Amino acid sequence: MSGYITDEKQLHFEEKKPAAINGMAVLIVNILLMIAAVVAIINGLTGMATGFGSGYAMALIIGGFIYVALIGPLLFAGLKILKPNDAMVLTLFGKYHGTLKGEGFFFVNPFAVGFNPAAASGRGQALTIETQAAGKPGSPSISLKRESKIMSLKTMTLNNDTQKINDELGNPIIIGIVVIWRVVNTAKAAFNVDNYTEYLSIQCDSALRNIVRLYPYDASVENGEKSLRGSSQEVAGKLKEEIQSRVEISGLQIIEARITHLAYAPEIAAAMLQRQQATAIIAARQMIVEGAVGMVEMALEKLNERDIVKLDEERKAAMVSNLLVVLCGDKSAQPIVNSGSIY
């Protein structure tokens, strides 16, 4: 399990808002102060050159250098820009400082740094660019990664690879799912698990195996049994509940989970196809026989009601046999005209 937690207190991370002010105001003031510091340095150097007020000039130089080299860049480090549906989890000296949300330009504690475990491992919001020399398929590729400290709150899609799983009857099937999810608690996503995207992917595979084992691939309609193929909505609902219960610790919300691929494994696909064909043939024959018996019964009743012809038991049996052959046969029967007496 990714990011296993041993301390129960760590399971109850709740989001909090850090102290933040308008970043544009801080930016303008800091730029003006840095310009003033540069002017102070120039005035101090001029004063030192002329020998006028050397102590005061030295103070200007030292103060200006401290602001330009230390304070100014430190204030710039506290400026954060967020786009819509983005968040930044901040840590201050190893402790959770708060989650910055909402679009805009903010200034926070310069010593607070953003933390995003998904970007740290090269997944999630990490950007990977690969280039390869043209015409040289075997040449090494160049990978450039830009790690982002921004955690996305947008609705995202997880589409894992298809898996081979045994259904309730032990038949191997190939199944794939797609999961629609989003982050609802950034603190839990950042600190309760090692990587919330990898954690979600692993839990989806585990939940899928547990759910698939409860249903057969296919079931007859007459029995009313639930199946993976015939009860996709119910299976999707149970799958969503199973995944949600597993990822609750990581602050994620499962919006939807549905099956995107369902098929028998290649090694039994041909045999299962023959089985389905045989089942369909048997069902069709059963329906044909039931209909033929009803038609024969109706024919005998009509003949008897209208007193068209009197048939003994032997003639009735022959008539029933002939009608069943005609009605249940695969090919059209050839009519034979009997010009003599039936007796």
> Is residue 312, in this structure, part of any structural domain at all?
yes
User: Over the stretch 7-43, which tens digit does the pLDDT of each residue have?
Assistant: 455 456 788 888 889 999 999 999 999 999 999 888 8
* Local confidence band at 52 (pLDDT 50, 70, 90 cut-offs): low
- 32 and 66 in a single domain? The answer is yes
- Rounded to an integer, what distance in angstroms lies between the CA atom of residue 10 and that of residue 242? 23
- 15 and 105 in a single domain? The answer is yes
- 56 and 159 in a single domain? The answer is no
Provide the domain count of the chain.
Answer: 4
Q: Domain boundary residue among 95, 127, 150?
A: 150
Range of the structural domain that residue 231 is part of:
153-264
- 258 and 177 in a single domain? The answer is yes
- 164 and 131 in a single domain? The answer is no
Tell the residue number behind the tokens 């996503």, with chain if given: 189
Say whether pLDDT at 141 is over 70: no
pLDDT at residue 128, as a whole number: 39
pLDDT at residue 129, as a whole number: 36
Least confident of 58-62, 145-149, 243-247, 282-286: 145-149
Q: Which amino acid is at 343?
A: Y
CATH number at residue 188: 3.30.479.30
> Is residue 2, in this structure, part of any structural domain at all?
no
Q: Domain boundary residue among 63, 97, 115?
A: 115
- 250 and 292 in a single domain? The answer is no
Question: For 98-103, what is the mean pLDDT?
Answer: 90
Name all contacts of 61-69 with Cβ < 8 Å and 24+ positions apart.
63/37, 64/37, 64/38, 64/39, 64/40, 65/37, 65/41, 67/33, 67/34, 67/37, 68/34, 68/37, 68/38, 68/41
User: Over the stretch 258-305, which tens digit does the pLDDT of each residue have?
Assistant: 988 888 887 765 666 766 667 777 777 778 777 878 887 787 777 777
Q: Domain boundary residue among 133, 150, 167?
A: 150
Do 97 and 109 touch, CB atoms closer than 8 A? Answer: yes
> Is residue 182, in this structure, part of any structural domain at all?
yes
* Local confidence band at 2 (pLDDT 50, 70, 90 cut-offs): very low
User: Over the stretch 166-224, which tens digit does the pLDDT of each residue have?
Assistant: 888 888 888 999 999 999 999 999 888 889 999 999 999 999 999 988 888 877 655 56
> Is residue 343, in this structure, part of any structural domain at all?
no
Where b means 16+ CB within 10 Å and e means fewer, 124-143 reads bbeeeeeeeeeeeeeeeeee
- Rounded to an integer, what distance in angstroms lies between the CA atom of residue 291 and that of residue 286? 9
> Is residue 269, in this structure, part of any structural domain at all?
no
> Is residue 84, in this structure, part of any structural domain at all?
yes
> Is residue 166, in this structure, part of any structural domain at all?
yes
Which of these, 215, 115, 203, lies nearest to 160 by C-alpha position? Answer: 203
- 185 and 174 in a single domain? The answer is yes
> Is residue 338, in this structure, part of any structural domain at all?
no
- 30 and 106 in a single domain? The answer is yes
- 259 and 289 in a single domain? The answer is no
- 101 and 127 in a single domain? The answer is no
pLDDT at residue 137, as a whole number: 46
* Local confidence band at 123 (pLDDT 50, 70, 90 cut-offs): very low
- 92 and 133 in a single domain? The answer is no
- Rounded to an integer, what distance in angstroms lies between the CA atom of residue 103 and that of residue 81? 8
- 184 and 241 in a single domain? The answer is yes
